[in-house]
Each structure stands twice: as structure tokens, then as C-alpha cells.
Structure 1
Amino acid sequence: MGAATAPDGEDAPVLVIDWDLEAPALHRHFALPSDCADLAEDAAPDADAAPMRAGLLEFFEACRARLRGAGGHGEELADRVIDDAGWRAHIERADGRRPLYLMRAGRFDDSYTERAGRLDWEALFDACPALFRRFAARMAAHFRHVLVATGAGRTAAVSVCSTLLPDRLAGLFTPAPGSLEGLEGVVRRAIDYRCTHEDEQRPLLLYPIACSADGARSDPHGRWRRGDVRNGAPGYQPRLEALLRACYGWPRVNLDSYFDEVQLALADAVSTTGAGGDRRALARFAAQLGEWLAPGYFPWQSLDEIRLRAALAQARAATQEGAQQAAPAGQHVPEPHGGASNAAPATLADVLARLGLLYRRERRRDEARACFEESLALRERFQGEDHAATRAARATLASLLFESGSLSEARRHYDVLVQACARRAGADDPETLCARSQLARVLAGLGEGERALALHEQVVAACERALGDDHPATLGCLEDLARSLAQQHESARARIVYERVLEGRRRRQGAEHPDTLRCAQGLALLFGETGELGNARRMLEAVLRARERHDGPDAAGTLGAREALAEILAAQGDLAAVRSIQESLARARERHLGAGHPETLNMQLRLASTLGQQGEAEAARRLREQVADLRQRLQEAEGWGKGHAGLDGVDAGATNLGGTDPVPSRHSIASTGASDTAAAGAAEAAGAGSRPPGRSAGLHAAFHDRHGHESRRPHEREAVRPLGATGMAGDHGEPGHVADNLGHKLAQLQDLIDSRSPGEARALADSLRTSVLRPSAAHPLRRRGAAMIKQVYLQDGDKDALLSFTQDEVSLLEGALIEAARDNPMTMR
């Protein structure tokens, strides 16, 4: 249990309770003095020796006696019984130097075993259901932390300890058969009970602790943790992630960072004050677990995020303290452009930027945007609009907005950035040129194609003139131009530019540099659009091998290359290879994003479509039903989250970034705003990209994606790029480019057909008619798209639309034949 009302600091008292009445041993871990004084100053010293001290058993025996014939009910009765039983007399000082207190299991006399077996926990609960809850609240009000130890099993005493008392539950499990199953059962029963009993809907956070003979060294290949496919063992981490997703109602759970840090060796777990134990090792483990448990962070929050949030809280406090000291007569007058008083705001802005970069890598774009916007506001206020740090902050925010599809806002920021860069760095500085190139990309995304291409060409000409043809900034701006050309369907020009950039990058940066691989992937996608599927496949296979070798199989860039290759393989008709890739992508997305994330669901539907094309209709049906069921559960969670608030009428999740106190909800008694965050997941699954109205950038930040952009160091993520920058905001495609990728849109259409969304499928099919029948469209994509559009029209019962589309197909064929004959007169005979 933890307390929010007790005093903070090193001198705050801590209570340890031994609830394991069957095998009490906790008192042996303490060097207990023989004359232990009571906690209360006015309490008389206990005459018993330390081993005969009264404890938990005697306290609840006293409660049972006072409940017989007692009047009243509910919390009032529970509080009176707890006071009358004299809880202070059952607690002893366990450490002479620190405020550490112990409530031992009981008085270990000859009658202890008989009395412990006679205590009827269920009868005690029936007599006063609020007793245990109020006991927990009373202890939490007097102690900074209350640590309760109990054994395993399904006894009533264990159920009271694991279900009714805690707000944080640390469950230890071992490789022994049944150990993990036991923990899963305890957690499910606790969550189910609190969800189904109105009076017990209180927060509960779970911290699973893996304990093996030698800790992490006992599992060098990760088979116990990750699973062993050959033996059919799922591994404890995937099982616990699934458990947390089910219990908390939150689809995105990843325990990588948590289990990287929290591993307990059996020797440390049983260490005592004797000569055989290593208390320092146990202290190190406690410190690692305390990173999550003490402040109440969720186990799926990474350690990097936890430390950044701690640094953020410190930076906020320092900024507020500085503002108060600088405020004459209660008013704050900031020094806007320099001065010692800017140190704290600058630190705060830097921490916000680093936290935003972390959220961006984890694809938690709402939180990233909130951090970037606040960081930029601080930079503007205290350092000025033209300062280099302000320009970098604005470029980072603009890049994220562009990546998220907020093109109008991205354009506004890039306009300001271009002007600021020109004023301070000069019109031909690489920073200014890169900013103008990014602005051109935004214009292309907004549909201002001619203006975008004109600006691109101006920027490229300026780069070549000022920096040279092979300068990294020139190559970056050329790559931006190639993307815009492809977006405007000028494939021939785009290919020429892409090939020039690729040759330059290979020469200057190497064939497997991330910039080179990104450019090669862009060229391969262009090959796919123009029907050169063989070239596209060979190039993407090379990119994928390099990314797997350098970045790992689950890096964002690797996954993007794998998905692009699957599209090309699908166009070639290699369904077996497509299925293999889709299965690996589905597993990776579920592992990193969660089972209910829209991208995970979409990949599952694509896999189902492939299974159907391979003739495995039953497997495809089962998979679609699983996706539909999960979407339904997310929609139900969304409906609850919109109509309910926390116990105090506060919207779940409406806390500030520094807060840690969870707010209970129906689907996640254990989490802050879990129903709200599940609702956000449901909204994304339904296609809504923005956060629901009324939600602030609060602790709900803990609930967002844990897998995002390809990991980079913070200094490599700045969007205002120095010499050598590429002009590319992301590593695996951008909204404008991906949205115009015909293969991607056809995959979206297939998802809508499979998920039985006729209205959305019809709208997308109508919008794809021109693209599918465009002469430049690759033949396999055109054939696939035409079949899908006809299927939508048939399902919609619109014979007129079907006839019209068929006539357009015939017209396209006639036009192609006439054009071919014109190019080759010998065929006209």
C-alpha cells in the first residue's frame, strides 16, 4: 500500500506488516530492540519481550471482539472498531536510526498456531465489509509507505491482503510450474472484485517480479522471459503483457524496459540479516523496483520516461521558484532575451524537448506535441523568436505536425521558421534552405503542387550554387524534390532525381547509411508505382537486409521496409511471402503497440485477406472475428469513458504532467484514466486521430504507443538540420507520400471490405477510380484495384456505378491501344 497524505522526505515513517500468519518470518529481518516503544507518545511501553509482542493476529482478534453486538454500520463502525482495538499498541519500532515500524504476524506463544487457524477472515468481513478498507486508509494516513507481505495461495487471508488492502501489488513468481498462473489468478480476482463492487473501486497498480536462481543470468537466451517457439512456451513477459491489457483495458502494454531493470535473484530474495545474505544486492533490486513503485508509475512506462518526468518536475519547481524570487511586489517581470534568470526556463524547455522526442519515438504524438509546444513557448518568451534554440524547437514541432498530418499548422510554423532563419543565418545558409525545402513539402501536401515544385527548384538551385552538387544539404533538398515530384505523379522526373540522390549518398555516406537506405526505399516505392516490380523487390530486399543487420528486426525503419516489400510481393502475386511478412509484422505490432492499436488491427485484417486469397477461408474468418471482437470491446470502453468521471468528479486523465495519483475507472481500477485511454484507442481504431475533447496532457501520457520512430539520440532528432542534414522528417515515410501510395490505399480499401464498413469502403473506392485507371499505374495494382472497386459496387448494389467504371476501363484500354499504334505505325495494317 502507499499513501499520498503522509509526509514526504527521508524522515517520513514506513510501516511493514507481516500478513503471512501461516509462516511468519518478517520479524527475523530486523534487529529488534528488547524494549520496543509504541508509536504513540502517550502509549505505555509493552512489558513483553520482543518475541512476545502483540501483532496483526491480536489486533484483528480485538476487532472481532468489539464487532460482537456493536451498533452502527459502514465506515463509521469500522473507524470506531479500529480505534477501540488500539492499533498503535500492535506496532513496534523496528530500527533505532530510521523511522521504520513493524506489525509482526502476532504474539508467538504456545497458542499462536491455534489462534491463527481459528481467526475467520470471511466472518470478520461479513460483520463489517469496510473494516479492511478503513484499516488500509488509517495506516496510509500515518505512514509514508505501508508494505504488506503475504504468502501464496488462495486462502481468505491472502485474498484480503491482495484484494482489499493495496493500491500497489508487487507479485513475485518463479519458473516453478504454477507460479505464474497463481499470480495471474490473484491479479484477475483482485481486479474483478474491485470492478464489480462499487465501494471497492480504488486504484490498483501491479508490479510483477520475476525471480529465478540467478536472476537475469539464469535466462541468458531469454526463453523463460520471451518464450520458446520450438517448445510452444509463450514466455512470462508476453503473458503478463496480455494480462495487463485485459485487466487494465489498455491495449498498448510493453514491459521491455521494466523487465530489463527488475530481475530478482533467488539468493537475494531470501537474504537475511545473517551472514549468508547479500543485503546490498537486495537494496539494489529494491532501488530498481522503486523507480516504478514509489512514485506510482505504470510498469509499461520506460525508465527513460520515468527519469525524464522526474527531471521535468524538478525543472518546473526550479522555474516557479525563480519566478517567485524575481517577482517584485508579487508580480513577475521576465527578462525576455538573456540574463541569468533564463537558466531555469531554458532547462525546463530542454527537458520538455527531450521528453517530447521520447514520446515521438514511441509514436505518442499527442504527448510529443504538448511537450514541443510548451518548449517552444518557453524559448520564445525567454530567448526570443530568432534564437538558435527557438528555431530548433520550432522546426521540431513543425516536423511533428507535418508527420501527423496537421499540414496547415505545420505551414504556419515553417513560414515563421524560414523568416527567422533568413534574418539570423542568411538566405543561403543550409539551415534556411532546409527550412524552405520542408515548407515546399508541406505545400505539396496541401495540394499546392505547382508552388511547391517551384520552391523546391529554387532551393535546389540555391544549394547547388552556395554549397555544391554533392553537399549533404543539397542532396537532402533534392530528395525532398523527388518526393514532391512523385506526389504530383511526375514519375519520370522523380526517378531521375532519386537516382542522383542515391548515387551521391552512396558515394559520400556509404551504401548502408540510414539516409542512403531511406532514399533507396523511396526509389523502390516509385518503381512499384510505375510497374517495375522486379527492381522494386530487389532494392527493398537489400534495404531490409541492411536495416535488420544494423537496426534490428523490430526497429521502425526495419518494419517500414518489411511492409513496403510485402506490398510489392502482393502485386507480384507471391502470397506465401506476403503471408510470412504480415505474420511477423502483426506479431511485432502487437508486441510494441498492443493488440488493440489501429495499426495492429489493420495488419491483422491484411493477414486475414491474404489467408482468404490462399484458400484458408476458415482461418481468415476466425482472424476477422477476433479483430471485430476486440474493436467492439474498445468501442464499449470508449462509451463508458465518455460518460463517467473519477470518484471526485474529475475527468480521468485530467492531471498535469508531474502528477502520479491514479484516478479509478470501471475498466481499469488499477490505472489513471484507463477508460479514457481505452476510449482514445477505440477512437483511433475507428479512424479518429485527435484526442477526445476535454482531455489534458496529463498522466494519460503513460498510456500511449511504446513503439515509434527509429530510435536516435536526441541530438540526431533536431529538425533544423546542420550541414549534412537530409531534409527528411521521418525515416519510414510521411503522410503526404504514403497517402498517395496506391498500394497503401488499396490495402486500406481491402481492410474496409474485410471489416464490413460499406459506407467508408464506397467513399474510398470512388476516390480511387481515377488513380486505379491512370495509365501510369502499375498493371498488377490496376488489376487488383479494379477488382476491389467492382466488388464494392456489387456489394452496394449500384449497377450504374459498376457499368460506368467498366466503361472507363474499356476506354482506358482503347486509349492505350491507340497510343501504342501511334508510337508504332507498323502495327496499323
Structure 2
Amino acid sequence: MEQNRSTLQALDSPGQGTTLYAYEGGPVRNGLLAAMALQLAGDTDAAPVLVIDWDLASPSLNGYFGPPPDGADDDCPPGLVDYAGALLGELRRRRIARDDGGDGVADALLDAVDWRPYVQRVDGRRPLYLMRAGRFDDDYVERAGRLDWVALFDACPALLRRFAARLAGHFRHVLVASGAGRSSSVSACTVLVPDRLVGLFTPAPGSIEGLEGVVRRAIDYRCTHEDEQRPLLVYPIACAADGARSDTGQRWRRGDPAQGLAGYQPRLEALLRSSYGVGWLRLESWFDEVQLPVSEAVAIAGPGRAALAHPASCLMTWFAQGSFPWQPLAEVRLRSALARARAQEGWAAAVLQASCLARLAELCQQEGRGNEARELLRESLLLRCAELGEDHPDTRAAHAALAALDLAGGRLDDARQRYELLAQRGMSTLGGEHPETLAARSGLASVLGRKGERERALALHEQVVATCERLWGDAHPATLDSLEGLAATLDSQHEKDRTRVLFERVLGGRRQLQGAEHEDTLRCGQRLGQLLGEMGELGNARRLLEAVLRVRERYDGAYALPTLSARDALAQILAAQGDMAAVRSLRSAPAPVREAEAGAGHTDEHHAIDSLQQQCAQLKALIDQDSRLEARALADSMRRSVQWLSVALPLRQRVAAMIEQVYLREGDKDAALALNKDLVSSLEGALVRARREELSVLR
């Protein structure tokens, strides 16, 4: 072991400790750990990696690394049991009281009992080291059974934490194989030791419950003990007989509401949301990429780790840079590329960094993380301004993307300033008929419409539309974009008939030009479907939104944000038709996600109504307090909800009267009149539909 003393020098920065836990234990955990260790130890920085076999009841990890390299001076080296026993002996010799077991005492004990003699190098080419479970002699079982982890913790609570920190000072990664089930030994290496926890689970009864219990105990302990305020990064990994092939119908992953089965993905998403305090996260990309095949890893030695080399490589994509499992694979790769660009110097590296930031911002926006996307875009814009100049196309594109994000996020003053700047510079450098100039003017018109400058907004929209039609014709993407912007502004002004005509024209043009399943076509289709619902044409709205939802589910997945938005829009139409069975069926798949977001236990058909009742109480309080700005904002947000026919008549009348009161107090008679027209239109649509249904029954 003298070789270890000379080569294991302290690192410039501490490494990471990771515990791999499986409720059943077994070869899959060991095979994955061995594959991870070999990949980490083979990294270009040649930083040492340590593996610890903490599964004292079933030690077998040493079999995954073969015989020690030539020159090893001990055929049966000591290990964790022997080291922990030596620490207990030193504690008893010093007679340390629990109150004295702080960091200083723990460090003194670790100085007295050196860990190096208990570590063995197991790879002649890679800096890979192993701490066995113990010396496998005739007394091992007795010594392992006699080891009292509770007594060790009671005597010096900081000891295991400081032990892990000391190892992290010499190894870039410390990988620990935990025991199975629940025990004081398992708690020691899952609660006190790790910075990261890789939890493996199977379809077997108690497996996922065991993982949930380990995660909760670890986080609860750290949250309730001042000295243990350390983050814990959790990576849950599904293990089936043939990996993802064993769950072709995805009943295990997604669940089966008809059978009352909860899928593991929504369960673990709820666990991580509560553990990290994150309001929205999805493990879609994570579980798409990381699946472990149990049948290919049942061997004790080499074949097991070789079979799991590819799954381990997928895991390493997130693990290597400490990414969260809910970050999509594309985002993880972009952040890795961004980190490499930041590490370089020069003009080319700065331009690449700006490009990575812009693409990352687009991805964050798709994930619904608008604030993060805005900060990334701002950083990208600063780099492009400094390196490329204000007039470069990439710089203008960054300005336009940031303006669109500000508009979508309701930061109208910022959006107006950017669109005005883009329009002015476009007029002076590109010309008034350049596509960028026209797009900036169209965006500015949308901002003006949102700010209440109706006449100027509509005039600017119509100028842009006329120019696009003259230059490129009716079916050009720029023409369709400008028409859709005009339609959205008219919709905000409650001119629904004109809005409908424009949306139908845009939708037809996009279907012909871009295809029925293009993102722009789907967005326009959903807008038109929601508009038709507000106008009382529920049958047409239902057919259109059903088509949008089918495409969303096929291309984006059932749990993507655009899919959830389309599903909610369709559910409102179904509720307005009184088809509650269809509402329940529609919402059964993503129910765990919705309940976790809302944090409430309302049934699906009453959730929107309960929300409207709460908003009604809030609006009344704002009116009583004479908080006019806040009352107007809330009243505007309630306008659509009050029109749905699933809202009971007394509640509808009460909410409509309060919204009208807010408008009249501000002297906005047009808004009050538009509200009443919308209510009448929705009721007329319901009467027409009821008459048609009555006639069909009589026939």
C-alpha cells in the first residue's frame, strides 16, 4: 500500500461522492457502478476514482475489477469493515462524548486512523482504486455483523461526513455501492456520505417505495440538521428485464388510470418536486435515454459491466457535469458545449458562446422557463454586440428574440423599446420593405395593441400586411405571420368576427405552405379552436382542437407543455358541451402532473370552477380596496373563464357583474359592452346547439 501513499495527492478542488442504491441490491447496481468507474477513471484529466463496497452483507464488487495489478503486496487486503472497526476502537480509546463529536474531533480521528492502507489500486492503466467491504478471512462475517454504525454515529456525528469529505479531497469521484433494503449501514452511506444518489428500482413490490424512503430520509435529515446543509443530487434509474423493451405499452412508466396503477415517472416527478421545491419538472428525456437491462447484467464479473457500458454512458451525459435529471438531453449537451466555449479564449470562442446561449434560451423558452431564457438571451446579446457589432444579422436576431420574449412575458415597455429600435435601424440600414423591418413593425403593432393604443396598432398592422401582400403574395410566410399578428390584436380588442376570418385564412395558408403538422400551423389551429369555443361553435372547436392534440401527442409527447396546453383547451370545450366523461378520459393521463402543479385535490370537472370562485373572491377584495390596476388585470384574465357554459348561472352572473363594475369604474364602456356581447354570443351558441340536438332526437 505504500504506492497509494505516494500517488494519491490532494486535488486542487474537492471531488464528488456518489452512492448507488438499489432496494434489492444485486449485480445491476454493481455492474452500473463498475461501468461508471471505468469511464470516469478513463477521462482525459486522469483524476483518480475510488470505489467503496458498502454492501457488507453481500460483498461482491471486487469481482467486477479482476485481480489487482502486478506489484500488489497483499492478496487479501483490509477494507471498510476493518477501517470502521479501527475508528470505533480509536473512539473508545479516547472516550469521546457525543457533544464533543464535532468536525475538529472527527478530523483528529481521521488523522489517527489513516484510510490509505484500506484502499487498493485495481487497474494498472487507469487511476482506479477500491476499498473492499473488508478482509475476506474466516472472521469477516462475524466482524461485519458486530460493526455498530449507530454507536459510531452517536459517538461522533460528524465522522462519516468528514470521512467522505477527506476522500473527496483525493479522488475526483468516490462511488459507493450501498447495501439493500433498510438498515443503519444503508442510512450511513445514503444519508451522511453522498453528494449524489443514484437510485435503481425495478417493478418488484417495494422497490420504488424503498427508493422514495431513502431519498426522503436523506433530504429530511439534511434540512433539519444545521451541520448537514448540503445539496443532494438524485438520479432515479428504472431497471427492467430488457430495459425499455420490457415496457412496450409504458404501463409501468406512465401508469394505467383505468386499472388504478400509478406510473413510476409521475411518482418520481412528484418526489423530486417536493424534495427540491421545484414547481414544474419533467423526467421525460431522462427516462427516454437512461434505462437499465437487468437480463444483460446478471453476471458477477466482466460481462455485467460490459453490458451496462452503454447505459452508463447515457447516465454520464448528465452525471459528468452535475446536471439535473429533469434537464432535457438537448439542454445538457448545449450546456456542455457552452462550458467548453467559456473555457476558451478569443473571438471565435466568444461567438460560439453567444450562439450556444441563444440556442439554450430557445430551449428554455420551449420548456416554459421564460425568465431563464431571458437572462440567457441578454448574455448572448451582450456578447454579440461586443464581438459582432450592432448591425450584424446575429445581433439583430438576438434583439428580435428578446423582444418577442418580452412581449410573450408581458414586459410591454421593454418589448416596445426593442421593437422600435429594430424598426428604426431596419428602416435606415435595410429599408422599409426588408423582412426584418416588417417583422419588427408587426411586433411593435402587437405591443401597441396590448397597451391599448388600438388605432395606431391596427394601422401599423394593416400597413405591414399590405406591404407583405404586395411584395410576396398571400401565401408567403411573412404575409401569414403579419396576418396572424393582426388577428391576435383584433382578438384582444374583442372583434371576434374579423379575428375568425383572419385566423381561418392564416390556418388555410399555413396548411398549404407549411403542412398540417407544422408548429406554426398547430399554434394557429389551437388559437382558432379556442376562438370558436368562445363564439359558441363548440362542435367545430372540438374537431379542430382534437386534431391539434393528436399531432401534439404524436410529435411532442403526451407530457410536453404544448400538448398539455392543447389538452386543457380541448377539455374546456368538452366541459362546455357537458361531456364530463370525455373530460375525465382526456385528463386521466396527465393527472399527476396537473395535480402536482395545482397542489389541490379538486376533481377535474370542478377545478376550473373552483379556481373561478377563488378569483371572484380576490376580485371583490381588490374592488373593496380600490386597487384599480390589480382589479383590471384580474378582471381581464377572468373574461374567458366566465363564458364557459359549465359555470353555474349564479356564479356567472356574479362574476360578470363584478367585471363590468371594474370596467365602468374606469370609464371603459367599450370593454363592458364587449363583455356583454361575448356572454350573449356564448349563450346563443348554446341555444343553437341545443335546438339542433332536439331536432336530431325528434327525427
- What does 1:295-306 correspond to in 2, within 5 Å? 295-306=321-332
Give the drift of 1:194: 2.2
Q: 2:619 touches 2:631 (CA, 8 Å); kept in 1?
A: no
SS at match of 1:354: helix
1:376 matched to 2:402? The reply is no
Trace 1:223-622 onto structure 2 (pairs within 5 A).
223-274=251-302, 277-318=303-344, 321-322=345-346, 342-510=347-515, 513-545=518-550, 547-548=552-553, 552-578=557-583, 580-581=585-586, 583-584=587-588, 588=590, 590-591=592-593, 595-597=595-597, 600=598, 607-609=605-607
Could you tell me how far apart the structure 2 residues matched to 1:155 and 1:772 are?
Answer: 53
Alignment partners' CA distance in 1, 2:635 and 2:247: 56
Query: Relative contact order, CA 8 A, sep 6+: which one is greater?
Result: 1
Match of residue 326 from structure 1 = none
What code does the residue aligned with 1:24 have?
Answer: P
Preserved contact between residue 69 and residue 121 of structure 2 (Cα < 8 Å): no
In structure 2, the partner of 1:724 is none
Aligned to 1:5: 14
Structure 1 residue 62 and structure 2 residue 86: aligned?
yes
State the match for 2:230 in structure 1: 202
Distance 1:417 1:457, change over 3 A: same
Change (3 A) 1:531 1:391: same
Q: 1:104 aligns with which of 123, 128, 132?
A: 132
Q: Report the aligned-residue RMSD.
A: 3.8
CA distance in 1, matches of 2:13, 2:595: 33
State yes or no: 1:50 paired with 2:59.
Answer: no
Letter in 1 for 2:606: A
Q: 1:151 aligns with which of 153, 158, 179?
A: 179
CA positional deviation for 1:354:
0.7
- Alignment correspondent of 1:718: none
Q: Kindly indicate whether the alpha-carbon contact (under 8 Å) linking 1:530 and 1:778 is maintained by their aligned counterparts in 2.
A: no
Task: Give the drift of 1:429.
Answer: 2.1
Q: 2:52 aligns with which of 11, 17, 39?
A: 17
Deviates more, 1:396-405 or 1:524-533: 524-533
Identity of aligned residues (%): 55
Q: 1:23, 1:423 → 2: CA distance? A: 76
CA separation in 2, counterparts of 1:260 and 1:779? 40
**Alignment counterpart, residue 759 of structure 1, candidates 602, 618, 621:** 621
Instruction: Give the distance between the partners of 1:526 and 1:351, measured in 2 at CA.
Output: 37
| Residues 407 and 16 (structure 1), Cα distance of their counterparts in 2 relative to 1, 3 Å cut | same
CA distance in 1, matches of 2:647, 2:140: 82
- Give CA deviations for 1:564-605 in whole Å, capped at 9, x if unaligned: 344444455555545555x35xx53753xx7554xx459968
**2:206 is matched with which residue: 174, 178, 200?**
178
Preserved contact between residue 36 and residue 93 of structure 1 (Cα < 8 Å):
no
Residue matched to 2:159: 131
Deviation at 1:245, TM superposition (A): 2.2
Equivalence for 1:638? none
Closer, same or farther: CA 24–452 of 1 in aligned 2, 3 Å: same
What is the rounded CA distance, in whole Å, between the counterparts of 1:533 and 1:119 in structure 2? 70
Describe the superposition over 1:29-55 as per-residue Cα deviations: whole angstroms up to 9, x where unpaired. 223337755xxxxxxxx5xx412x122
Unpaired stretches in structure 1, ≥5 consecutive residues: 38-45, 323-341, 613-623, 625-747, 817-829
Alignment CA distance shift 1:786-1:381 (3 Å): farther
> What SS does the corresponding residue of 2:175 show, helix, strand or coil?
strand
Q: Deviations over 1:257-307 (max 9, x none)?
A: 222222112244344445xx1543322222222222233222222222221
Alignment-mate amino acid for residue 316 of structure 2: G
Partner of 1:83 in structure 2? 111
Note closer, same or farther for the CA distance 1:563–1:394 as it changes in structure 2 (3 Å cut): same
Q: How far apart are the structure 2 equivalents of 1:132 and 1:480?
A: 62
Alpha-carbon distance, 1:251 to partner: 3.1
Number of aligned residue pairs: 624
SS at match of 2:130: strand
How far off its partner does 1:791 sit?
6.4
Secondary structure at the aligned position of 2:234 is classed as strand
**Residues in 2 aligned to 1:289 and 1:172: alpha-carbon distance in whole angstroms:** 12
Provide the TM-score with structure 1 as the length reference: 0.68
Distance in 1 (alpha carbons) for counterparts of 2:635 and 2:64: 76
**Contact in 1 for aligned 2:69/2:122 (Cα 8 Å):** no
Q: Is the 8 A contact 1:268 1:278 kept in 2?
A: yes
Measure how far apart 1:244 and its partner are: 1.9
Q: 1:3 to 1:230 in 2, by over 3 A?
A: farther
Which aligned pairs between 1:669-680 and structure 2 lie closer than 5 A?
none
Structure 1: distance between partners of 2:170 and 2:529: 65
Q: Is the 8 A contact 1:528 1:568 kept in 2?
A: yes
1:212 counterpart residue number: 240
Which amino acid in structure 1 is aligned with residue 471 of structure 2?
A
Mapped to 1, the partners of 2:486 and 2:544 lie a distance apart of: 21
Whole-Å separation in 2 of the counterparts to 1:576 and 1:415? 50
**Does structure 2 retain, via aligned residues, the 8 Å contact 1:482–1:494?**
yes
C-alpha deviation, 1:501, in angstroms: 3.4
